[in-house]
Structure 1
Amino acid sequence: MTLQARLVVTRPRFRLDVTLEVAAGQVVALLGPNGAGKSTALRALAGLTALSEGHITLDGRPLHTLPPERRPIGMVFQDYLLFPHMSALDNVAFGPRCHGASTAEARGTAADWLRRVGLAEHVGTRPRQLSGGQAQRVALARALAVGPRLLLLDEPLAALDAHTRLEIRSRLRRHLADFDGATVLVTHDPLDAMVLADMLVVVEDGAVVQRGTPAEVARRPRTDYVARLVGLNLYRGVAAGRKVKVGETLLSVTESLEGPAFVAFAPSAVALYRTRPDGSPRNLWQARVEGVERHGDSVRVHLDGPITAFADVTPAAVADLGLPPGQRIWAAVKATETHAYPA
């Protein structure tokens, strides 16, 4: 592993305790809600926040004993923090100059990086004249121009509008694929994490609650927060064969398990009926409509009952069912639509 770290930061009402391992050329995303400790972890890696305990090792050498300016790190801040009085070229050249390069060498390096990120024609442009996407690319070029072994990205796409974000996310993925060091990305946006990262580390309340590839995390969420991110209903119960007891509700599943287990299914797998359906589907319960909201091209129905759930139905189904808040409704999920796995 290029980066190995245990980051412990203790404050009066908060404690961060996160371990990280990142291989060369790998992108690891720290994903979590606001206040989870993601940015604190990133600042600790950069040396901008002191560790209470732990260590940071980069390429086999201790990093936590070094001041920020001596760490081989490039960092892209959420607001980019470009120098407003400098051109794009001089912004990117600033790092190499600080590392001892001559003005000519630094500017040559900067021009090369601006060319790589597609901004060769903007070398003389100042930050206020750049679009959000262009400013993000200048900030990335500035971070990479110092030849870092560790690249830190703090919500690098958060300041962009939706259309620009789509384009820049694709560009950023290509640039990260060419970087041979370790990259740690902080984001609260699951799409950014899923597209940009090779591995996800989910942080809640200062602790790691789940880690794995994007596919693993999306398929097997282990907390309500992760389940909401990936759009699944998630329950924890006790399995006995192909049955999982969640509270007082017994759910039929396709997998055979024993002991503590999770059950997950998509909101689109939930069918709604005004009256008890014929045939008695395996997983059937009566619920109360808590509310409805638009959700893309469908309508998301919030259900309360023996188990709470989200159901995605068509607008036509809403018109047919009515679904005012408080209405009693039958909900059903086929066993084949569920996914059970050990807790």
Structure 2
Amino acid sequence: MTGTHGTGHDIRAAAREEGLDARLVVERGAFRLDVTLRVAPGEVVALLGPNGAGKTTALRALAGLTPLTGGRLRLDGRALERTPPESRPVGVVFQDYLLFPHLTALDNVAFGPRCQGATKAQARALAAGWLDRLGLAEHVGARPRRLSGGQAQRVALARALATRPRLLLLDEPLAALDARTRLEVRSELRRHLAEFEAVAVLVTHDPLDAMVLADRLVVVEDGRVVQEGTPPDIARHPRTDYVAQLVGLNLYRGEADGHVVRLDAGPLITTTEALSGPVFVAFPPGAVTLHRDRPVGVSARNLWRCEVAGLETHGDQIRADLGGELPLVADLTAVAAAELDLRPGAAVWAAVKATQTHAYPV
């Protein structure tokens, strides 16, 4: 009985140790990165944040290219803090792919297995299999300069996967692609990541890449985690201005008393939800209607006098940046913008229906 119990305990303990368990502390001058990551096998996590947030530093720390100042780094229960980069079970797809220009696609992919002790024939057979899986069987003999951006990206992914890594790191993997290729490769990459059985960590500043490719988002600002969760949760409940801009929402903080929230920015806003205490209130730019004169018959509860601070094209719409009683962003059609004669400095009234707001606890 005792032996059986011990075996069950060992299995459960081993299961808990699978995957990535890291606290990455890196100090460089005035900048300090302190990010905790726990990622299960088969899970894809995206590190998302503005330039300079520390995303690439975190990725380099995971790869062993930047030493940790403190914290821990365990992969499948094995401590990696002192393990040199070349000895870590880690595959990396860099932003510019870093393919060897003098080697064919086949030999680029075979390079990793060769370094792990495979014979030339074994490594090439393994590489050929990966290139075939990624739809590159016809390009095994091509050198990088003969490959398109999408093909080079797939060769880089094949090279990373050929070493059978327990941790796959992708640094802005679609950044170098044009818009059309990016759409196609994003779809392919999602399929391959879904089949990957170990841990995958993606670094990006593109919200669409993160939303499509990742199971979970970890948002980093100024070297620390400010929010994490599934893509729908992040999109629906942004907790910083950066995240709100990322998902295209106006975001405010305030104090709720039933359906009315007194915003830190000053005015009151009426919401659908009845809450109490500190809350966030969010609504999309498309929920804002603009009027040159105070609208007749519209409740003054969610009506603010504003001034146009700037205008820019946003997709097939015009995005108006508004200052005044409540700084906000509004989206409207080009026809509507012309009819309102919108221009910087113009005075407008902005209205939002309570039913189009969303309030949630801080």
**TM-score normalized by structure 1?**
0.99
Structure 1: where are the runs of 5+ without partners?
A: none
Q: Deviations over 1:90-133 (max 9, x none)?
A: 00000000000011100000000000100001111000100000
Of 179, 187, 196, the match for 2:213: 196
Corresponding letter in the other structure for 2:160: A
The partner residue of 1:122 within 133, 139, 144 is 139
In 2, Cα distance between the equivalents of 1:315 and 1:84? 48
Equivalent residue for 2:320, pick from 290, 297, 301: 301
The residue number in structure 2 matching 1:95 is 112
1:280 shift after superposition: 3.0
Partner of 2:187: 170
Q: Matched residue pairs, number?
A: 343
Q: Which residue of 1 aligns with 2:351?
A: 332
Q: What is the rounded CA distance, in whole Å, between the counterparts of 1:114 and 1:241 in structure 2?
A: 59
User: In the alignment, residue 293 of structure 1 is paired with which amino acid?
Assistant: E
2:310 corresponds to 1:279:
no
Out of 149, 152, 167, the position equivalent to 1:132 is 149
Shift in Å, 1:287: 0.3
CA RMSD of aligned residues (A): 0.8
SS at match of 2:343: coil
State the secondary structure of the residue aligned to 1:48: coil
Deviation, 1:276, is 1.0
How many angstroms apart in 2 are the aligned matches of 1:185 and 1:39? 10
Alpha-carbon displacement from aligned partner over 1:294-341 (angstroms, at most 9, x marks no partner):
111111111101211111111111121111211111100000000001
Counterpart position of 2:15 = none
Q: How far, CA to CA, are the matches of 1:238 and 1:113 in structure 2?
A: 55
Please give the secondary structure, in 2, of the residue aligned with 1:78: coil
> Partners in 1 of 2:198 and 2:217 — Cα distance?
17
Q: SS of the counterpart of 2:71?
A: strand
Which runs of at least 4 in structure 1 moved beyond 3 Å after TM superposition?
A: none
- Tell me the residue number matched to 2:8: none
SS in 1 for 2:254: strand
Partner of 2:75: 58
**What are the residue-to-residue correspondences of 1:30-41 with 2, within 5 Å?**
30-41=47-58
**Quick one: which of 267, 285, 290 aligns to 1:249?**
267
**3-state SS, counterpart of residue 186 of structure 1:** strand
- Matched residue SS, 1:280: coil
Amino acid at match of 1:253: T
Question: Among residues 250, 274, 285, which one is paired with 1:267 in the alignment?
Answer: 285
Partner of 1:206: 223
- Which residue is 1:289 aligned to? 308
| Larger displacement relative to structure 2 (191-200 or 232-241) | 232-241
SS in 2 for 1:235: strand
Q: Deviations over 1:12-54 (max 9, x none)?
A: 1200000001111110000001110000000000100000001
Q: Distance in 1 between matches of 2:150 and 2:171?
A: 15
| Separation (CA, whole Å) in 1 of partners of 2:227 and 2:326 | 24
Amino acid at match of 2:336: A
Stretch of structure 1 that moved more, 100-109 or 55-64? 55-64
DSSP-derived class of the 2:290 partner: strand
- Amino-acid identity (%): 69
Q: For structure 2, which runs of at least 5 residues remain unmatched after alignment?
A: 1-17
Corresponding position of 2:249 = 232
Within 2, Cα distance between the matches of 1:244 and 1:17? 34
Partner of 1:322: 341
Looking at structure 2, the residues matched to 112 and 87 of structure 1 have their Cα atoms a distance apart, in angstroms, of 15
Name the residue aligned to 2:4: none
Name the aligned partner's letter for residue 290 of structure 1: A
SS of the aligned residue for 2:272 comes to strand
Q: Deviations over 1:133-158 (max 9, x none)?
A: 00000000000000001000000000
- What TM-score, normalized to structure 2? 0.94
The one-letter amino acid of 2:255's match is V
- Among candidates 96, 101, 104, match of residue 79 of structure 1: 96
Partner Cα separation in structure 2 for residue 152 and residue 316 of structure 1: 45
Q: What letter matches 1:299 in structure 2?
A: I
CA deviation profile, 1:254-293 (whole Å, cap 9, x unmatched) = 1111111110000000011111112233300100111211
TM-superposed deviation, 1:218? 0.5
Distance 2:59 2:338 in 1: 48
> Quick one: which amino acid aligns to residue 73 of structure 2?
I
Q: Give 2:12's aligned residue.
A: none
State how far apart, in whole Å, the 2-side matches of 1:206 and 1:245 are. 31
Q: CA deviation at 1:248?
A: 2.2
